[in-house]
């Protein structure tokens, strides 16, 4: 039945202007509310979403609390029982409470099934020169790669030793059918297991194949269980990745071997905002360029006027990856563009597909080709480089990968930098510390105290990998109510002196490696109450995380940054 419905969708694309925007869930949208929600708890975020839905006569199907807490933007999955997506888009675009709105697009995995598997099985590892790297480093079990795909066969003989365990005690999570969540991310489709094997199948264990990184942790994020998934489920998967990272899982890389052609989107779209939040959290995102044989800068036919996403979202830590064959030539199916595709990696060609792990129920090992297979080579490269250079920032690791690429396909306009060469990336003596400027700063701690009580306020920086030298200045607007002791450090001790309200302001001046300086400030009100007997008189459960979003003036949009 589902296949029949999808066929109808494809037919309607040519008759209905709504579907010209791309395949999506009819009657559903994803909206970004204009009200900042930095530091809000899940209950408050959900309440705000429900109030908005009630006021518009819509159903709120879900929110994404980790994304909201980090980006300050509340993304709501909305549905109407009577209105079309086109009607919802028009109405919400004119609602002053809505910052941006998009359809709930359907994306699919970027792989094709091979038919003539008569080639050397692991030629891709030779092409990217992994044996030369394995002489020195083979990975690190502390590094985690999240595979956002159709799941992983976590019982596979060549993967189970490298599977991560999340805060729920599972090997990942499954997000499907617009809101259904399960703790079992098992792959029954095959694509995600194949991708996972390229990145991190166990190496040197005497069985099967090896991944780029022999020792790594793989987190299965199953949001495309049958080879395709809704944006709402994929965003929920990314929200889960951020949540697990914040709970202590060392997620350094996410692989995204999926995509869909859609109307050009802005960075503040629901999907764009979510991907940027991942990037700002210091996670390298390896993204497949797609398999439609299109010049992304000048697509033709039914693709004209559209762009493939997420491949065309470009942020500080995203890498878009095209596909090549054994001879470094562009794969015939691969999308390409010197403006949109950073780098290429083995993805296969006719009679030269990529061999990797498959679900045990489907034979354990098999062949696929596509840019879906190219992205996990880059994800694995990032993981092993993080292991080799643990003190380098994500920006430096990305720079290693791009700077070391073999200069092939660049003059033809296929790729911006060339073809992945991990040995060359490893051999670079040092990479300059790339500027990672602050976007915002925050203050965390209790906001109500009693006279005579002292509390500690701490600072936060967004993104978390902001680098350089920092100077801190804590100030109060009324030192007769609250006294500050901070010693020029990142934390401040606040002591209540008399009943009243005092505004505490934190200013952080960042000197970037390039020498440029940036100053960001934020404030929080501290309420000092009269001292009471037997009780501090404060609400010990009242916490506040205050952040203000401020985009640096030197930030450029995708077209300007990647020309």
**Model confidence pLDDT, tens digit, residues 188-243:** 999 999 999 999 999 988 889 999 999 999 999 999 999 999 999 999 999 999 99
Quote the pLDDT of residue 38: 66
The pLDDT-based confidence of 157 (bands split at 50, 70, 90) is: very high
Q: Which of 13-22, 23-32, 58-67, 376-385 has the lowest mean pLDDT?
A: 13-22
Whole-angstrom Cα distance, residue 475 to residue 239? 35
- Structure token pair of residue 105: 């697009």
Whole-angstrom Cα distance, residue 336 to residue 303? 13
- Structure token pair of residue 552: 């640096």
> Which residue in 77, 156, 171, 191 is the catalytic one?
191
Quote the pLDDT of residue 435: 73
Residue partners of 556: CB distance under 8 A and separation at least 6: none
Quote the pLDDT of residue 547: 28
Is residue 433 classed as helix, strand or coil in its secondary structure? coil
Q: Is-above-0.85 flag for pTM?
A: no
Whole-angstrom Cα distance, residue 127 to residue 347? 11
The pLDDT-based confidence of 410 (bands split at 50, 70, 90) is: very high
CA distances from 538 to 242, 409, 479, 499, 505 (A): 32, 64, 20, 12, 21
Q: How many other β-carbons are positioned within 10 Å of the β-carbon of residue 299?
A: 19
End-to-end CA gap in the chain: 44
Whole-angstrom Cα distance, residue 546 to residue 457? 11
The overall average pLDDT reported for the chain is 85
Burial of 41 (0-12, 13-18, 19+ CB in 10 A): middle
Whole-angstrom Cα distance, residue 542 to residue 394? 34
- Structure token pair of residue 506: 């934190």
Q: Is 372 known to be catalytic? A: yes
- Structure token pair of residue 510: 């960042």
313, 334, 312: which is closest to 322 by C-alpha?
334
The pLDDT-based confidence of 39 (bands split at 50, 70, 90) is: low
The pLDDT tens digits for 291-303 are: 999 999 999 999 9
The full DSSP string for 288-350 is: E--SS--BTTS--GGGTT-EEETTT---TTEEEEEEE-TTSPBPTT--B-TTT--EEEE--BT
> Which residue in 65, 80, 149, 502 is the catalytic one?
149
Record: fold of 2-107: Alpha-Beta Plaits (3.30.70)
Quote the pLDDT of residue 35: 77
Whole-angstrom Cα distance, residue 507 to residue 472? 6
Give the residue-averaged pLDDT of 60-79.
89
Helix axes 371-388, 394-403, angle to 10 degrees: 120
The full DSSP string for 113-159 is: --S---S-TTHHHHHTTHHHHHTT--EEEEEEEEEEES---TT-TTT
Q: How many other β-carbons are positioned within 10 Å of the β-carbon of residue 536?
A: 16
**Top-level class of domain 440-547:** mainly beta
The helices-and-strands tally (H runs, E runs) of the chain is 13, 27
Quote the pLDDT of residue 548: 26
Tally of CA atoms within 13 A in the half-sphere of 145 that contains its CB: 41
Quote the pLDDT of residue 438: 78
Domain definitions of the chain by residue range = 2-107, 120-427, 440-547
Burial of 17 (0-12, 13-18, 19+ CB in 10 A): exposed
Give the residue-averaged pLDDT of 313-328.
95
Q: Which helix (H) or strand (E) holds 93?
A: helix 85-93
Q: What percentage of the chain reaches a pLDDT higher than 70?
A: 88
The DSSP bridge partners found for residue 108 are: 228, 259
The DSSP bridge partners found for residue 494 are: 455, 484
Is residue 545 classed as helix, strand or coil in its secondary structure? strand
37, 28, 24: which is closest to 59 by C-alpha?
28
> Which residue in 176, 257, 337, 372 is the catalytic one?
372
Fold match between 120-427 and 440-547? no
* Superfamily of domain 120-427 in the CATH hierarchy: Peptidase S8/S53 domain (3.40.50.200)
Q: Which of 20-29, 112-121, 317-326 has the lowest mean pLDDT?
A: 112-121
Q: Is 24 known to be catalytic? A: no
Residue 306 in this model has a pLDDT that exceeds 60: yes
Whole-angstrom Cα distance, residue 553 to residue 469? 20
Q: Is 136 known to be catalytic? A: no
Helices marked H in 330-421 — which ranges? 371-388, 394-403
CA distances from 466 to 440, 441, 513 (A): 10, 10, 11
Q: Which of 245-259, 357-371, 432-446 has the lowest mean pLDDT?
A: 432-446
Burial of 433 (0-12, 13-18, 19+ CB in 10 A): middle
Q: Which helix (H) or strand (E) holds 191?
A: helix 191-200
Residues 24, 280, 295, 5, Cα dihedral to 10°: -10
Q: Which of 11-25, 113-127, 396-410, 546-560 has the lowest mean pLDDT?
A: 546-560
106, 104, 38: which is closest to 270 by C-alpha?
104
Burial of 136 (0-12, 13-18, 19+ CB in 10 A): exposed
Quote the pLDDT of residue 16: 31
CB 188 within 8 A of CB 239: no
Tally of CA atoms within 13 A in the half-sphere of 415 that contains its CB: 28
255, 230, 384: which is closest to 320 by C-alpha?
255
Q: What percentage of the chain reaches a pLDDT higher than 90?
A: 66
Q: Which helix (H) or strand (E) holds 59?
A: strand 59-63
């Amino acid at each position: 039945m589902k296949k029949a419905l999808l066929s109808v969708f494809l037919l309607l694309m040519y008759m209905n202007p709504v579907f010209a925007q791309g395949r999506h869930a009819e009657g559903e949208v994803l909206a970004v509310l204009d009200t900042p929600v930095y530091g809000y708890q899940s209950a408050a975020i959900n309440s705000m979403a429900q109030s908005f839905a009630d006021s518009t006569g819509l159903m709120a199907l879900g929110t994404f609390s980790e994304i909201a807490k980090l980006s300050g933007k509340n993304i709501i999955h909305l549905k109407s029982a009577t209105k079309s997506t086109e009607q919802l888009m028009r109405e919400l675009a004119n609602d002053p409470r809505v910052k941006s709105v998009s359809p709930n697009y359907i994306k699919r995995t970027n792989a094709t099934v091979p038919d003539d598997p008569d080639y050397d099985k692991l030629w891709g590892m030779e092409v990217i020169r992994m044996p030369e790297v394995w002489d020195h480093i083979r990975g690190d079990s502390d590094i985690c790669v999240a595979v956002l795909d159709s799941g992983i066969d976590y019982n596979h003989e060549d993967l189970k030793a490298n599977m991560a365990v999340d805060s729920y005690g599972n090997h990942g999570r499954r997000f499907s059918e617009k809101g259904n969540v399960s703790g079992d991310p098992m792959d029954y489709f095959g694509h995600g297991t194949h991708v996972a094997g390229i990145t991190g199948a166990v190496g040197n264990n005497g069985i099967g194949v090896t991944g780029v990184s022999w020792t790594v942790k793989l987190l299965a994020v199953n949001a495309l269980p049958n080879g395709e998934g809704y944006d709402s489920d994929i965003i929920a998967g990314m929200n889960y990745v951020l949540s697990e990272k914040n709970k202590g899982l060392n997620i350094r890389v996410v692989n995204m071997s999926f995509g869909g052609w859609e109307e050009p989107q802005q960075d503040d779209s629901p999907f764009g905002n979510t991907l940027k939040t991942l990037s700002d959290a210091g996670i390298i995102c390896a993204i497949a360029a797609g398999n439609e044989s299109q010049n992304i800068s000048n697509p033709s036919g039914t693709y004209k006027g559209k762009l493939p996403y997420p491949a065309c979202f470009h942020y500080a830590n995203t890498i878009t990856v095209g596909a090549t064959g054994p001879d470094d030539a562009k794969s015939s199916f691969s999308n390409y563009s010197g403006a949109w595709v950073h780098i290429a990696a083995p993805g296969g060609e006719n009679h030269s597909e990529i061999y990797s792990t498959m679900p045990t129920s489907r034979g354990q090992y098999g062949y696929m080709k596509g840019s879906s297979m190219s992205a996990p080579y880059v994800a694995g490269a990032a993981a092993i480089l993080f292991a080799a250079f643990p003190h380098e920032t994500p920006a430096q690791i990305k720079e290693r990968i791009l700077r070391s690429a073999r200069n092939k396909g660049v003059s033809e306009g296929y790729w911006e930098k060339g073809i992945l060469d991990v040995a060359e990336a490893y051999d670079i003596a040092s990479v300059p510390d790339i500027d990672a400027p602050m976007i915002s700063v925050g203050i965390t701690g209790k906001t109500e105290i009693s006279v005579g009580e002292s509390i500690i306020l701490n600072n936060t920086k967004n993104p978390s990998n902001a680098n350089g030298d920092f100077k801190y200045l804590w100030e109060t607007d009324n030192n007769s109510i609250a006294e500050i002791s901070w010693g020029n450090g990142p934390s401040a001790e606040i002591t209540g002196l008399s009943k009243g309200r005092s505004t505490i302001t934190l200013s952080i001046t960042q000197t970037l490696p390039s020498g440029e300086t940036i100053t960001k400030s934020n404030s929080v009100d501290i309420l000092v109450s009269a001292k009471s007997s037997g009780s501090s008189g404060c609400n010990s459960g009242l916490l506040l995380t205050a952040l203000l979003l401020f985009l640096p003036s030197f930030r450029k949009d995708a077209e300007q940054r990647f020309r």
